[in-house]
Structure 1
Amino acid sequence: MESLKSLVLSSSSDDSDDEIDTLLLAEHVEHLVVGDTSTRRRRSSLPRRVIHRDHAAGENLIKHHYFGPNPVYPSHVFRRRFRMHRPLFLRILRAVQREDEYFTIRCDATGLAGLGPLQKVCAALRILAYGLPTDAVDEYIQIGQTTAKDCLIRFCRAIISSFSERYLRIPNHDDIARILRVNADRGFPGMLGSIDCMQWEWRNCPTAWRGQFCGRNSRPTMILEAVAGYDLWIWHAFFGMPGTNNDLNVLHRSPVFDPLRNGTMPPVHFTINGTTYNFGYYLADGIYPNWPTFVKAIRHAFEEKKVHFTTKQESCRKDIERAFGVLQARWAVLRGPAYGWDRNHLAEMMTACIIMHNMIVEDEGDGAANVDFIGPSGPPEPCNNTAEGRNEWLNNHIRSELPNDPDQDITCQATYLSLQHNLIEHMWARRGSMG
């Protein structure tokens, strides 16, 4: 303050009137600065306004509505509001309580009991299921905005810690055998699933990053690459690439072929038209490379055999689009823009939603496709890994000691064309045998 006053005084003239005016000006500036500082200090020292919520009443109300001996709302209403049946909900509740003591009843410094586990889990699930802001669950659940956000983050982490090993696993031998059997009956022997990408808008993307994340729609987005099966189970999920990338860029950063590279993927062998292949394939759209691990539709197909093959390929490739649609219909938070600032938190939300999606698929089977929930469900809008070792492997071979062996090269275009030709002939012959 003294330096500010001296600066004002030094700029004055020697006239007495000017000196008086300058002194008055300096005093006025000092009064404004000191007053503003004291106001800021008073504002920062004000105590936070505490809202006295009835935590016990909120917990008891949830129990009365959904978990009592004679709950108010029947099972179909429970499934619509929580996206799953009651036994699965209780299984998740017990798991997150074991994983994180935050989801148990704890007392505050005054000895009063805090929020109950049902309140915390219900708040997190309502936000994920309906895409609600964290403040919207306060009246019913009796939980504050900041606490609801903490519940959401810790719930997603507990889901990942408790269930990712089982519900985000790579297919085991039994899974592979079942997938191959079902897809062979559909006309695609050797098919492991369908691969594609969807985008999730990031509303709170920092301005400095928008150029990196804004894709074709001029809105910042992040990309999810996934592989899904006929039953909507998501076998692979890779999330977080900026929206300016296309599916091919994402593929070169994706760990989708890491199980093959690491030797943890069960072997796949199948024969079509007398030709044996040593790895499975995914149905993909036209942007993916011509590798024998991808089977794509034929553009501008005129020959009847190729038209029939393209129709079947496009029909079966709907598996991944159906999976994206069900995922977004079940968890509305993925359908609308993401409002978080932290990319890691958004990735945890996406991963937790996929895990619970797979849990529901396991629990309900074919019924998991029933997503007649409230709200419109539009079609999906079609932390970086180190890519050097992965891309070097992709451009070489699958762990084979013979890198020049076309039977072991997943990038061999000759094998890709051979597989496509044999599938065309196989489907045409199958069509004839079926009349």
Structure 2
Amino acid sequence: MTAVAEPTAEQARIQRLRSAPPAVEMDHVFKTFRLPRQRYSTLKERALHPLRSMIYDDLEALKDVHVTIPQGEFFGIVGRNGSGKSSLLKVLAGIYRPEQGRVAVHGRLSPFIELGVGFNPDLPARDNVVINAVMMGLSRREARKRFDDVLAFAELEEFVDLKLKNYSSGMAVRLGFATAIQVDADVLLVDEVLAVGDAAFQQKCFEEFTRMKSEGKTIVFVTHDMFAVERFCDRAMLLERGDVLQIGEPHEISRAYNELNFGRLVHDAPSEEARYGDHQACEITDGWFERDGERIGESPQLEPLTMAFKVRFHADVDDPVFGLSLRNEIGHTIFNWTTEWAETPPAGRFAAGDEVIVRATTDTVLAPSKYLLTPSVAREGYGADALDLREDLASVYVHGPRVTGGIIEPPLSFSLDRR
């Protein structure tokens, strides 16, 4: 008799979401803003030009948005600035009313759209937490009971008596987020409000997202961070000027977002390599895996593995950021990394005609599979302004004695403490 393999945790989650009842329904939603062409700053201007204010331009923020999000799904919304992401969240939160279509949210809703809205700068943390929590639906007694948990999460115990007007922006965000997560909500709307927090607090928030996801909360998450989309989301939606361009698997949406943001330049048949960036200042001319200076197409586990790519410059570029990402053959991102995150010294100036080979070496703790390398070059800053990015440019097969079903297989030493 052939044994039936048990579904993995991810497969079981997908099956559960397919049969789950809807948590959020958006049925052909339209939202338009009327923008006056003339704005007045004085009564005299209005009196002299009474008819100018009657001329408006229509801004179509959302056009026929139609999607159902089942209970327990972590759903991402991505798009460029002005695409309608925040407007959509505000429609879901009831802040905006759509001109057409229907919006239904099943369960208790908690919006993390603008953390700290409702905070009084002349009051200390305790009073602000209680007021904000009551605004979000908790009773006054519940809000006071949870105050210590809020302060501990925000790590602001020593500033409890300080008025909020003396808080930094990061401290205010930490207090707002810590307050918001105390609401026992079924559906959470999260705008990209965590960008002002420091790296340690962002990681703490991501861990909180993981906890809420495991508890079956429905989360609608707006972000520009494609790594966060691939890390957390079950599905994602790409918006552009109010239109839904695509809904699908996170890696597909991440790739479509990069294509929209940077512009596709090349499709090299037969591999159909996607390429992004302005491609004018420099170009990635080659990419490969190597060991001991020799190019390789396969690697055993637990051996050093070097990822390399060559860049040729066509114009002067100061301190470019070199990056790479590694995916397995089913599209899971193993890691993204850049010279900036690695705190590598600035690369300096590259002149037109210069070439550089970028190498990064790691021990091969990857599970047996095929892995694909995506190198990139970006302008100095956050690494988002791509000069050239070549997706899945090189590949390597990692082989080992067994297939465990994991993504990585680090060497572990066990000890048995028999009692």
Give me the TM-score of the superposition, normalised by structure 2: 0.20
Higher strand share: 2
Give the number of the structure whose alpha-carbon radius of gyration is greater.
Answer: 1
Q: Per residue, is there more helix in 1 or in 2?
A: 1
Taking CA–CA contacts closer than 8 Å with sequence separation of 6 or more, which of the two structures ends up with the larger relative contact order? 1
